[in-house]
Amino acid sequence: MILKKFIGWNRNAAAWLERRFPEVFGAPSYKAELERRIADDIARLKPSAILEVGGIDRPLLQRGLGFRYIGLDIEERPNCYTVYDRFIVQSIEQPVNVDADMLVSITLMEHVPDNRAAARSMFSALRPGGAMHHYMPSKWHPYSIALRLVGPVMQKWLIPYLRPSAVGVTGYPAFFDHCSPSDMAKVFREQGFEKINVMPFFRASDYFAFFLPAYVSVALFENLCAALNWRIFSSGFVISATRPAD
């Protein structure tokens, strides 16, 4: 198929540019930063229970590591009941009957229609002194804007062509409610969280690798935003917060 060959050529060319010029086209690992923060707090808090929200059957952690591992998602799959010690089917926007020492998520909150309600529920689910760590895409990155313009129906049709490795993993409706570094920090602060720490990331040009001119243009824009610390245009951010101990 001509379209697949064209996209394949563009993706190969983008991959060559990333290998040849990693300082321009390479992407620092937000997942590594998220995992580092989680590991540090596991060592510090020695949690008895950790709640992962939106992990479905692809959890960040493993069960059997000295804490009760609880998963929560709006849908379920058979493996959900084997990769967690307990699995809950509901929206994080609703109160959760859990007492956790830590709460984690990755690429979840852009899919939540009401993140104020989600933050309120997270605050209640954490024990005093508990910590939470999230990674979410930022709403004003070119990819996030394009995602909202395209919509979930067209997105699911395009994914097999543009990003075949993401089939079955992405394609869910995305609302990006308060999903910017400053807005999400404000939402968490309003719900009573403290020690809010945000680290923005600026490179997600791989989403445009299906068309080399777009890939190069977005990568150059990302580098400019990183140099000027224009956090509003970050591709995403890791954010951590703590429920007060009192």
**Mean of the per-residue pLDDT values for the chain?**
92
Record the tokens describing residue 241, joined without a space.
């917060």
> Domain extents for the chain?
2-242
Our measurement of the distance from residue 103's CA atom to the centroid of its chain's CA atoms, rounded to an integer in Å, reads 14
Query: Which residues are CB-contacts of 83 (< 8 A; sequence separation ≥ 6)?
Result: 57, 59, 62, 63, 71
Provide the whole-model pTM.
Answer: 0.91
Phi then psi for residue 104, to 5 deg, are: -135, 155
- Give the tens place of pLDDT for each residue, 177-188: 999 999 999 999
Collapsing DSSP states into helix, strand and coil, what is residue 135?
Answer: strand
Q: Is 133 helix (H, G, I), strand (E, B) or coil?
A: strand
3-class secondary structure, 161: helix
Third-level CATH fold of 2-242: Rossmann fold (3.40.50)
What's the pLDDT band for 170 if we cut at 50, 70, 90? Answer: low
Q: For 142, how many CA atoms within 13 A lie in the half-sphere containing its CB?
A: 17
